[in-house]
Structure 1
Amino acid sequence: MHVLTRAALAAWWMLAAASIHAAPLLAFSAPMSDVRWTLRSGPFECRLEQAIPDFGRVSLIQRGDGQLSFEILVRKGLYQGQAMSLKVRAAPWQPGQAVGHADLASDGGRDGDLVRFGESPARAVMLALRRGHFATLDYTIGDQARIRAEVSSLRFAEALGRLQKCAAGLKPARFADFEKTEVHFASGSAHLDARVKRRLTRLAEYLRLFGGQVQIVRTIGNTDNVGTAFANYGLGMRRAEAVAHYLKSQGVTQPIRIASQGEYRPLAANRTARGRALNRRVSVLLIR
């Protein structure tokens, strides 16, 4: 009897110690009245986003090539690169309902505060939400805290219809369409106007999504023949630098090599205003 008592006492102390040292659970979810699915469209993808208060946001992303992905952007300071598990559970109004394969993925690609899950987990999440289930995201920050964020399926059916309609209007991005991009400048200027920035933003978005095989980006500046050849070489270089700087500001990570051809590689004769306008350019070349 004395041995049993000591064993029971030891077990009690182990349980007590475990409960003392167990990391607390921090749970995040949007109140039912605040659940919203926001559609954001771009040239190459459509995103369906849900904000989770104090945690971050999740995005179901459909690309023009048909690829689906699921992304989680976590609030600064709440995520430190830990493995994140993606699961499905029954919604509060589905007590006891089976959800099939509940564990969808045990980890995703990580980039700072952003976690990405690929095609298979993303489609499983989409199917689960369409059935009314919830998705959960779980990870542990050492012994400090266990984190759980909940993705609600409220209003998802209508939102999914909007996502699919948006995706139907996307066109697949072809490398040939972006291999060479030309942008033009005002006389004597290296300033990027709104039209040029729109084209470069689109190019940067292409590189972010589809540029995995692009090894080098080259920006080559050109001018008309107004002014001296020496001055035009410098102007061409400033134009190439301005384009390279803007691409980097838009998240382009490939090495960018800049060059100037000054006035020596015209596309058209400089005798006319139209010809000079065509020659005031930067060519952006993608090299695989």
Structure 2
Amino acid sequence: MYLQRWIAFAALLMLVGTSHAQPLLAFSAAMADVKWRLHSGPFECRLEQSIPEFGQVNLIQRADGRLIFEANVRKGLYQGQRVRLRLQPAPWQPGQSLPADALESGNDTRNGLIRFGEMPAREVMFALRNGHFATLDYTIGDQARVRAQISSLRFRSALVRLQTCVGKLKPVTFADYEKTLVHFATGSDKPSARGRARLARLAEYLRIFGGPVRIVRAIGNTDNVGSASSNYALGLRRAAAVEHFLREHGVTQAISIASQGEYRPVASNRTSRDRALNRRTTVVLIR
């Protein structure tokens, strides 16, 4: 519906021209509204610019050094096409010229997300740092041509903030997340607050760096309070609760769950502290 309204409006503007040309839907932010917002997390820092009615673009630097440029497009304006990214002088840079070749988006285009790889991302970063603009350009079948302009206004100071943020990121290794322990209260299948924080961090790791991970295995365990059969069922519910949490936080890898019940304890069950250590789910990543 949103796309049809834009096409109808653009078509009205073209009545005075040729009837066979595609309507052009052009988007840009007013100079006074151009902002680069910095967002930071444990694994990446990103600069974000909003383009009214179109969506937003992000320049992302990850803890492993990888640089990504992507656009999140408003629903109805993008249907998975390849997108051309062109660099051009800013309006106040008359006489300057840039290579005419367009950079193509990668295959990771889904749910309104357009992503460019390492080399295009670096070219965009250097161009914006030098005051140039960038333009996203694509067509929606024979319905319309879409063009979104990315402004370099205020980018240099934003880039300094991005580099400061990246300097604070800690190196990430697979060994840091290969095994995660989540603990539970007596008789409960709800992860503790600390366990939920660990799972949220694991989910973000998998979202960003989890490409090589084939299977996420969640194994539930209990203490020895109660019968063996009830503890087996409780261990399975604990593993399922972890699976549910990871799915809700965007984990797409295959997840297998299992229960060992009260067997395979990591501590004796003679003290409350030992029993607390045994009430756990172990999450293992398999590449």
Tell me the TM-score normalized by structure 1.
0.91
**CA distance in 1 between partners of 2:37 and 2:209 (Å):** 24
**Unaligned ranges ≥5, structure 2:** 1-14
Q: 1:74-113 residue pairs with structure 2 within 5 A?
A: 74-99=73-98, 101-108=99-106, 109-113=108-112
Partner of 2:30: 31
Secondary structure of the structure 2 residue equivalent to 1:212 = coil
Secondary structure of the structure 1 residue equivalent to 2:19 = helix
Q: 1:65, 1:171 within 8 Å by CA — same for their partners in 2?
A: no
Identity score, percent: 67
RMSD, aligned α-carbons:
1.5
Secondary structure of the structure 2 residue equivalent to 1:19 = coil
Bigger CA radius of gyration = 1
Question: What is the one-letter code of the residue matched to 2:182?
Answer: V
Q: Following TM superposition, by how much is the alpha carbon of 1:21 offset from its aligned partner in structure 2, in angstroms?
A: 1.5
**Deviation string, structure 1 residues 175-196 (Cα, Å, up to 9, x no partner):** 1111111010111101134322
Question: What is the one-letter code of the residue matched to 1:76?
Answer: K
Q: Following TM superposition, by how much is the alpha carbon of 1:162 offset from its aligned partner in structure 2, in angstroms?
A: 0.6
Q: 1:12-91 residue pairs with structure 2 within 5 A?
A: 19-91=18-90
**Deviation string, structure 1 residues 118-158 (Cα, Å, up to 9, x no partner):** 11000000000000011100000112111000111011011
Q: 2:58, 2:69 within 8 Å by CA — same for their partners in 1?
A: yes
Partner of 1:5: none
Secondary structure of the structure 2 residue equivalent to 1:110 = coil
Q: 2:105, 2:117 within 8 Å by CA — same for their partners in 1?
A: no
Alignment coverage as a number of residue pairs? 272
Partner of 2:11: none
Tell me the TM-score normalized by structure 2.
0.92
Secondary structure of the structure 1 residue equivalent to 2:252 = coil
Q: Following TM superposition, by how much is the alpha carbon of 1:104 offset from its aligned partner in structure 2, in angstroms?
A: 4.3
**Deviation string, structure 1 residues 212-239 (Cα, Å, up to 9, x no partner):** 1111110000011111111111111000
Partner of 1:160: 159
Q: 1:115-130 residue pairs with structure 2 within 5 A?
A: 115-130=114-129
Partner of 1:198: 197
Q: 2:104, 2:116 within 8 Å by CA — same for their partners in 1?
A: no
**CA distance in 2 between partners of 1:103 and 1:171 (Å):** 36
Partner of 2:283: 284
Question: What is the one-letter code of the residue matched to 2:165?
Answer: C
Q: 2:83, 2:138 within 8 Å by CA — same for their partners in 1?
A: yes
Secondary structure of the structure 1 residue equivalent to 2:109 = strand
Q: Following TM superposition, by how much is the alpha carbon of 1:244 offset from its aligned partner in structure 2, in angstroms?
A: 0.5
**CA distance in 2 between partners of 1:102 and 1:169 (Å):** 37
**CA distance in 1 between partners of 2:33 and 2:194 (Å):** 38
Partner of 2:140: 141
Secondary structure of the structure 2 residue equivalent to 1:213 = coil
Q: Following TM superposition, by how much is the alpha carbon of 1:106 offset from its aligned partner in structure 2, in angstroms?
A: 2.2
Question: What is the one-letter code of the residue matched to 1:176?
Answer: A
**CA distance in 2 between partners of 1:193 and 1:149 (Å):** 45
Q: 1:111-260 residue pairs with structure 2 within 5 A?
A: 111-260=110-259
In proportion to residue count, which structure has more helix?
A: 1
Q: 2:181, 2:195 within 8 Å by CA — same for their partners in 1?
A: no
**Unaligned ranges ≥5, structure 1:** 1-15
